[in-house]
Amino acid sequence: MKPGQAATFGKSAAQFLVGCVRQTVAAKPRAELDDGQLEAVKQWQQVFEHNPVMYFMVDPAGTVINVNTFGAAQLGYTAAELIGRSVLDVFFAEDRDFVRACVALCLETVDQSHTWEIRKVRRDGSVLWVRENAKTMLRADGSPVVLVACENITERKEAENALRQSEAYLAQAQELSHTGSFGWKAATREITWSRETYRIFQCDEGSKPQIPVMLQRIHPEDRLAVQRTTGQAAREGKDYDHEYRLVMPDGSIKYVRAVARATRDSAGHVEFVGSVSDITATKEAERKLRESEQRFRDYAETASDWFWETGPDHRVTLISEHSDTTTPPGVIGLTRWDIAPDADLEPEKWRQHRAALDAHIPFRDLVYRSRDRNGQTIYVRTSGKPFFDADGNFLGYRGVCTDVTAAIRADQAEEALRKAQAELAHVTRITTLGELTASIAHEINQPLAAVIANADACVAWLQRNPPDLKAARRSVEWITEDCKRASDVIRHIRALAKRTEIEMGPLDPNSIVREAVALVQREMARHAVSVRMELSSALPKIFGDRIQLQQVLINLIMNGIEAMEDVRDRPRKLTIRSAADGDDAMLVSVADCGVGIDEQAIDRLFTPFFTTKSGGIGMGLPICRSIIEIHGGRLSAASNQSGGATFQITLPLYREQAS
C-alpha cells in the first residue's frame, strides 16, 4: 500500500472506529455489550493501533488522550509515555503557535477535515516531517475530540533540501564559468551579487548593489523594458529570462542575459535567484552572421531541420533551400560519406550505414560530423526512409537532418566538467598524501629497519663455526616478509596517488577501514589521538572503488583529528564503526569528541567552497559526498550530544548477478 493510500485508509478506519465505539457506548455500558459488539470494538482497536499511520486523539486543551502504537514509536516513545501530555511537546517551540491555531480551527469546524505540513521532534531530537489531516468529532456525551492522522513526508522534504543544494552548486559552477549569479528579494529590494556579476557590471565589489545603480548602468533604450519585465515577475511571482544592454563607464556597449527563478521565503515573500551572462561576443557573432547572410535570414530558420533526397546510387539529388547555412556548398551529387569528414575515422560506423542503405532499410539518428558554409565543424543527426515507384523499384531515400551541435557540445562540456572534478579529487588525494608524509615514512621505515636487523643477524649466524644455517635461513625468510610488507605499503601509496578511472569491484568494507587507519596511524600518534574500531564481523561485501573509498575515510579521519586539536579537558578519541543497515546496505561512521558542528553550519558542510577551517578551501567534504553518491550511497553529518561530531557513510551491498 502506498503512503497516500495508507493515510486515506487509516483515516477512514480511525473515523469508523471512533463512530463505532461512540455509538456502542452511547447505547449501553461496556459491561452490557454483547460478544459481537465487543469483538467489533476489539477489531477496530487493532486497526487503530497497528495501521502504519500515526494517529493522535487530542482534547480541546491540547492533551493527548490516545495515540496508536505506531505513531508513538515513530517519535521514539511508547503510547503510555505520550498519553496525558500536551501534544505541543512533540513540536518545536517555534511551531507551537501554529499548532494551537490548527487545533482551534478544528474545534471551530466540527466534522470538517483540515490538512497541513509541519515538523515534529523525535525523542532523540531528530526531525520528522509529517502531513497532518485533522478533524474534530463529538463523543457520545457531546464533548469534542480532535483526531489527527499523520503521514511521514521526511524523505520528500530531504529531497527538496537536496534540490536546493544542487541549485546552489549550479550557481557556483556558473560563476566559475564566468557567468555571474545574483539574488533579489522583491519585498525589501535587497540584492546580492557574485564576484563575476560585479565584473560584468564593472562595479566596485566593496559597494552594495542598488537598483538605482543598476538602472543607471542599463542602456536608456532598454531601461523601461527591464523595469517592466522584473516588475511583472515580482508581482506575479514568476521566473523571467531577458536580454538587455549595458553602457560601460568608457561608453562601450555590453550585452547581457539575465535568467531568474522565482521562489518564496518562509514569510511568503517573492525572491529571485538567477544568473547573468555576458553575451556580447555572441551578439557580435550573430550580427556578423546576419550581415553575411544578407541581414534578413531568420536565425531560428538556420537552426531548424532541413530535408534531403538521394537517388538509387545514394547521391544527393535535392536539399531544402533553408539549409544553405548549415551544409557545405556543392553537396548535390555527393554521398553522405563524401560530405562527412569523419568517414575515415569511423570506418565501421559507415560500413554498417552503407550496408543498411544497400539493403534499403530505414535508418534513424545517424550522427556524423560535417562543416557549415563557413567551414566550421558541426554535428548532424539524420534519419531516412527508402522510397519506391509503383512497381516496387528502389528510387532512393528521403529524410531529414538536424543540427545537434549544441547538444554534442553540451555533452562534451559535461564530460570536461567530469574530468575536471576527477582532477580536483586527485589533487585532494595528493594533498592528503603530503600531509601524511610522516606516517608513510614511518610505515616504510619499520620493515626496512627490520630488514637491516635480520640481515645483520643472518651474517652473524653464517660467521659461526660451524655456521648455523637454520637460524640464517629463518633470518632470510623474515627479510623476505619485511620486504613484501614495505612493497605493499609503497604499492598502496602509489595506487592512492595514481590518476586513474574508477575501478569498481566487490570489496570488504572492514579491510578498507583498516587500510585507511593504517595510513593515518602516525598522524594520530602525533596528535595524541587514540582510535577505537568497532567493526561488525562477517559484513557482506560492497561494490566500489577501493582507492576512492579510502580517500573518503582518510579525509573524514583527518577532519576528526583536526577537530580535536584544541581539546585539553578529555581524551582525544576517534571511534570508527561498521554495521549492517537492513538487508540492502551497510554503515560506516567516524565519530570524534572535538568541538562539534555549529547548527548553522551543518547544512552547508557539503556545499562547495564552504569551510570552517582558516586555511581550508571547502572542497574536501563535497568531493567525499560526490564519491559516495557515485557509489550509490549517502554521506551525512551530525553533532553528538556528548560533544564532537559523527560522519556517517551508507553504502549498498554488493549483489552478484545470476548467470
User: Which of residues 103, 131, 157 is at a domain's end?
Assistant: 157
Please tell me the predicted confidence (pLDDT) of residue 522: 74
The pLDDT of 472-492, averaged and rounded, is 76
In the predicted model, what is the mean pLDDT of the chain?
A: 81
Q: Are 564 and 625 in contact (CB under 8 A)?
A: no
The lowest-confidence range among 52-66, 238-252, 538-552 is 538-552
Domain count of the fold of the chain: 5
Is 288 within the bounds of a domain? Answer: no
Q: Is pLDDT at 21 greater than 60 in this prediction? A: no
237 near 262, Cβ under 8 Å?
A: yes
d(CA 272, CA 265): 10
pLDDT of residue 425: 57
Same domain? 496 vs 508: no
**In the β-sheet with 363-371, what is the strand arrangement from edge to edge?**
316-319, 306-310, 394-403, 377-388, 363-371
Q: Is residue 162 part of a domain?
A: no
- State the pLDDT at residue 58: 93
Q: What is the mean pLDDT of residues 473-500?
A: 70
Q: Quick check: is 482 in a domain?
A: yes
User: Does residue 38 fall inside a structural domain?
Assistant: yes
Query: Is the model's pLDDT at 111 over the cut of 60?
Result: yes
- CATH number at 312 reads 3.30.450.20
Least confident of 46-50, 74-78, 347-351, 466-470: 46-50
Long-range contacts of 599-604 (CB under 8 A, 24+ apart): 599/639, 602/637, 602/638, 602/639, 603/161
Point out the domain boundary residue: 136, 157, 178.
157
**Do residues 525 and 604 both lie within one domain?**
yes
Domain check: are 601 and 627 in the same one?
yes
Do 444 and 496 fall into the same domain? yes
With a pLDDT cut of 90, the percent of the chain lying above it is 31
Please check the confidence at residue 86 and state whether its pLDDT lies above 80: yes
- C-alpha cell read off for 387: 522510397
- Residue 444: CATH number of its domain: 1.10.287
Q: In the chain, what is the greatest distance between 2 CA atoms, to the nearest angstrom?
A: 111
Per-residue pLDDT at 17 exceeds 70:
no
Q: Please tell me whether residues 184 and 331 are part of one structural domain.
A: no
| CATH number for the domain that contains residue 649 | 3.30.565.10
Range 147-168 average pLDDT: 84
Domain enclosing residue 103, as ranges:
3-157
Residues 506-529, mean pLDDT to the nearest whole number:
86
**Based on the domain organization, do 549 and 610 belong to the same domain?**
yes
Q: List pLDDT tens digits, range 187-218.
A: 888 999 988 898 899 998 888 998 888 899 99
**pLDDT number for residue 16:** 46
Q: Are 134 and 152 members of one domain?
A: yes
Cell (9 digits) for 102: 490548527
Distance of CA 177 to the CA centre of its chain: 20
Q: What pTM does this model have?
A: 0.34
* CB atoms near residue 656 (< 10 Å): 8
Is residue 492 predicted with pLDDT exceeding 50? yes
Residue 419 maps to a domain: no
Q: Is the Cβ–Cβ distance between 522 and 442 less than 8 Å?
A: yes
Picking from 133, 149, 129, 157, the residue whose alpha carbon sits closest to that of residue 47 is 149
Nearest-angstrom CA–CA distance, 336 and 384:
12
Q: Are residues 350 and 399 in the same domain?
A: yes
Q: Is the domain of 473 the same as that of 531?
A: no
Q: What does the alpha-carbon distance between residue 576 and residue 553 come to, in Å, rounded to a whole number?
A: 10
Of 283, 318, 337, the position where a domain reaches its end is 283
pLDDT (tens digit, 9 = 90+) per residue, 581-634? 888 899 999 999 988 888 777 777 777 766 766 555 566 787 788 888 888 999
Q: Is residue 298 part of a domain?
A: no
Kindly state whether residues 33 and 138 are assigned to the same domain: yes
Read off the pLDDT band of 11 (50, 70, 90): very low
Assign residue 195 a region (left: φ > 0; alpha: ψ between -120 and 50; beta: otherwise). Answer: alpha
Question: Are residue 367 and residue 489 in the same domain, yes or no?
Answer: no
* Same domain, yes or no: 399 and 443: no
Residue 41 lies inside a defined structural domain of this protein: yes
Inside any domain, residue 509? yes
Choose between 421 and 235: higher pLDDT.
235
- Give the three-class secondary structure for 592: coil
For residues 390-409, give the mean pLDDT: 87
What tens digit of pLDDT does each residue of 36-82 get? 655 655 665 665 666 678 889 999 999 999 998 888 999 999 999 99
pLDDT score for 107: 94
